[in-house]
């Protein structure tokens, strides 16, 4: 029995927001084709056909849709997709996930999400001040109110969702504000997404690329070259933010109230149970099967550049793409570990972490500090103790 994950972009890099830190607009802008538009019905059907060639009974598969803004593909596109998958009549478990900026979400989308058990990732940045600074409409206006309205709609329709909050360096200085947002909005699941510095390819392009498409993804957001807006997260601030958040989270846990903060969940799963639930937490890349609207496949959302393309799912199966030389090169790339890692107690578990997150949550520019290590040194023990105590009490 296997569990496959695909990350599909039905509307490519198209978006109805102009978030200042959008990392996917930066990536797509330096590709030969910035946007492949909306995925056609023919391409969709070919992709599903090829995916099912590798699926056996009892397998599980997650189709996660994101962009750009995936809602731009239209509700009929998703109806077609789930009908096609359902028509296969196989003994498998299918999960759906959908990451959205929320602008287009209305009652009919909520009905659909509920009917097909979609798990939604909704991007909201903690307060109007932080949100409206970066998450702006095509007219240049803040979108806080519209996004919050979508959240309340998901609540009303009892659609399951995570809040995706981009962790800028400035927001990381105000963990209490982030916590108040969680409390005031009664959020049960939240993921803080590190705001990244621009990728090498973008910086090498030697020009300002417009950061004007897409929406924060589950793994990161990034800024254009030369950004000095206080957005790019830095390791010291990363550690301070989560240390303080842990204080509030622990108090809530002790009242028997579990709130899922993705980073804490990942650390607990990995260090207490040996299960890596975040890509890169064990220092290894995992093949993410990022599928663009023309069927092109990339190994990681951070690396959806032309030179990392691993195949096309309209022509090849997942197995063939996994076995392709480009995929294996990406997965097996050995990066030199920074010196600071050599004397780190977490070295064998972490192995330098995710290479794309290195500058923002791990090793600072001067290589004398690692934010993740600082957090683990101070907080891993208390975090493990809290989880063990609360779950032991829960089973008594
Ligand atoms: S760079 Fe590697 S570890 Fe990081 S998210 Fe991509 S595949 Fe995962
Ligand atoms: S110093 Fe940081 S990145 Fe290096 S092994 Fe330790 S925790 Fe991981």
Whether residue 362 has its Cβ less than 6 Å from ligand 2: yes
Which ligand approaches the C-alpha of residue 23 most closely? 1
Catalytic residue, candidates 155, 266, 301, 345: 301
First to last CA, the chain: 34
What's the rounded Cα separation, in Å, for the pair 83 and 116?
10
The per-residue pLDDT for 390 is 81
pTM of the entire predicted model:
0.92
Ligand 2 pocket residue status of 370, Cβ below 6 Å: yes
Sequential DSSP letters for 307-342: GG--EETTTS-HHHHHHSHHHHHHHHPPPPPPHHHH
Predicted confidence at residue 208, as pLDDT, reads 36
Q: d(Cα 288, Cα 44) in Å, to the nearest integer?
A: 18
Based on the residue annotation, tell me whether 111 is a catalytic residue of this protein.
no
Instruction: Find out whether 131 and 144 touch, Cβ atoms under 8 Å.
Output: yes
**pLDDT given at position 1:** 87
Cα–Cα–Cα angle for 262, 263, 266, nearest 5°? 85
Question: And the tokens for 383?
Answer: 């975090």
Neighbours of 86 (CB within 10 A): 11
Tokens of 156: 């009303």
Q: How many residues does the chain have?
A: 396
DSSP symbols for 375-387: HHHHHHHHHHHHH
Q: Ligand 1: does its nearest atom lie under 6 Å from the Cβ of 7?
A: no
249 φ, ψ (degrees, to nearest 5): -60, -40
Vertex 159 angle, CA 153 and 160, to 5°:
125
Q: Per the structure block, which two tokens stand in for 69?
A: 């803004």
Residue that the structure tokens 């101070």 belong to: 378
CA–centroid distance, residue 350 to ligand 1 (Å): 13
- Name 321's Cβ contacts closer than 8 Å, sequence gap at least 6: 289, 297, 310, 311, 313, 327
Structure tokens at 110: 């909520």
By alpha-carbon position, which residue is closest to atom 4 of ligand 2? 341
Distance 283 CA to ligand 2 centre (A): 9
pLDDT given at position 225: 44
- Which atom belonging to ligand 1 lies closest to the Cα atom of 357? 4
**Sign of the C-alpha dihedral computed for residues 336, 354, 301 and 69 taken in this order:** negative
H runs (alpha helix) in the chain: 23-29, 41-52, 75-86, 107-115, 128-134, 144-156, 169-172, 175-184, 200-204, 235-254, 262-273, 318-323, 325-332, 339-342, 347-350, 371-395
Q: How far is residue 291's CA from residue 8's CA, in Å, rounded to a whole number?
A: 5
Contact in structure between 285 and 308 (CB atoms under 8 Å): no
CA distances to 187, 190, 215, 243 from 161, in Å: 9, 9, 16, 25
**Largest Cα–Cα separation, the chain:** 61
286 Cα nearest atom in ligand 1 = 7
Each residue's pLDDT tens digit in the chain (396 positions)?
A: 899 999 999 999 999 999 999 989 888 888 999 999 999 999 999 999 999 999 999 999 999 999 999 999 999 999 999 999 999 988 999 999 999 999 999 999 999 999 999 999 999 999 999 999 999 999 999 999 999 999 999 999 999 999 999 999 999 999 999 999 999 999 999 999 999 988 776 656 543 333 322 333 355 566 554 455 789 999 999 999 999 999 999 999 999 999 999 999 999 999 999 999 999 999 999 999 999 999 999 999 999 999 999 999 999 999 999 999 999 999 999 888 889 999 999 999 999 999 999 989 999 877 789 999 999 999 999 999 999 888 777 666
Quick check: CB of 239 below 6 Å from ligand 2? no
Ligand 2 close to Cβ of residue 340 (< 6 A): yes
Task: List Cβ neighbours of 385 (8 Å cut-off, separation of 6 or more).
Answer: none
Beta bridge partners of 95: 62
Which residue carries 């997942």 as its tokens? 318
Q: State if residue 126 touches ligand 1 by the CB under 6 angstroms criterion.
A: no
Identify which ligand lies nearest to the alpha carbon of 347.
2
Q: Which ligand is nearest to the CA of 283?
A: 1
Q: Please choose from 343, 344, 367 the residue to mutate so as to test ligand 2's pocket, defined by most ligand atoms within 8 A of CB.
A: 344
Cis peptide before 68 (omega within 30 of 0): yes
Name the nearest CA neighbour of 137 among 129, 37, 145: 145
Atom of ligand 1 nearest to the CA of 299: 7
Q: Which residues pair with 296 in a beta bridge?
A: 312
What is the CA(57)–ligand 1 centre distance, in A?
29
Gap from CA of 358 to ligand 1 centroid (Å):
10
């Amino acid at each position: 029995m296997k569990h496959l994950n695909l990350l599909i972009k039905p509307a490519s890099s198209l978006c109805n927001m102009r978030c200042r830190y959008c990392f996917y607009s930066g990536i797509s802008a330096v590709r030969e084709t910035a946007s492949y538009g909306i995925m056609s019905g023919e391409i969709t059907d070919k992709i599903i056909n090829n995916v099912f060639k590798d699926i056996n009974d009892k397998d599980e598969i997650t189709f996660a849709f994101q962009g750009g803004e995936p809602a731009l593909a239209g509700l009929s596109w998703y109806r077609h997709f789930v009908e096609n998958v359902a028509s296969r009549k196989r003994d498998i478990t299918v999960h759906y996930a959908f990451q959205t900026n929320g602008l287009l979400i209305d009652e009919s989308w909520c009905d659909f999400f509920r009917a097909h058990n979609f798990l939604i990732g909704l991007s909201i940045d903690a307060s109007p001040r932080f949100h409206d600074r970066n998450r702006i409409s095509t007219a240049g206006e803040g979108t806080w109110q519209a996004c919050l309205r979508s959240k309340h709609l998901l609540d009303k329709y009892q659609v399951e969702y995570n809040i995706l909050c981009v962790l800028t360096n400035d927001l990381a200085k105000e963990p209490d504000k982030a916590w108040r947002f969680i409390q005031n909005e009664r959020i049960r699941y939240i993921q803080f997404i590190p705001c990244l510095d621009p990728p090498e390819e973008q910086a090498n392009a030697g020009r300002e690329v417009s950061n004007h498409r897409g929406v924060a993804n589950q793994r990161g957001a990034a800024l254009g070259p030369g950004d000095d807006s206080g957005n790019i997260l830095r390791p010291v601030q990363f550690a301070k933010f989560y240390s303080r958040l842990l204080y509030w989270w622990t108090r809530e846990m002790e009242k028997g109230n579990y709130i899922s903060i993705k980073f804490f969940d990942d650390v607990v799963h990995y260090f207490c149970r040996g299960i890596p639930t975040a890509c890169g937490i064990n220092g290894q890349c995992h093949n993410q099967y990022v599928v663009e609207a023309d069927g092109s496949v990339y190994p990681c959302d951070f690396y959806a550049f032309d030179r990392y393309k691993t195949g096309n799912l309209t022509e090849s199966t997942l197995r063939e793409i996994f076995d392709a030389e480009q995929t294996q090169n990406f997965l097996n790339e050995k990066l030199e570990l920074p010196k600071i890692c050599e004397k780190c107690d977490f070295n064998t578990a972490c192995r330098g972490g995710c290479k794309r997150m290195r500058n923002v949550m791990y090793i600072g520019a001067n290589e004398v500090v690692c934010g993740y290590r600082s957090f683990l040194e101070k907080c891993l023990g208390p975090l493990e103790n809290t989880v063990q105590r609360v779950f032991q009490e829960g089973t008594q």
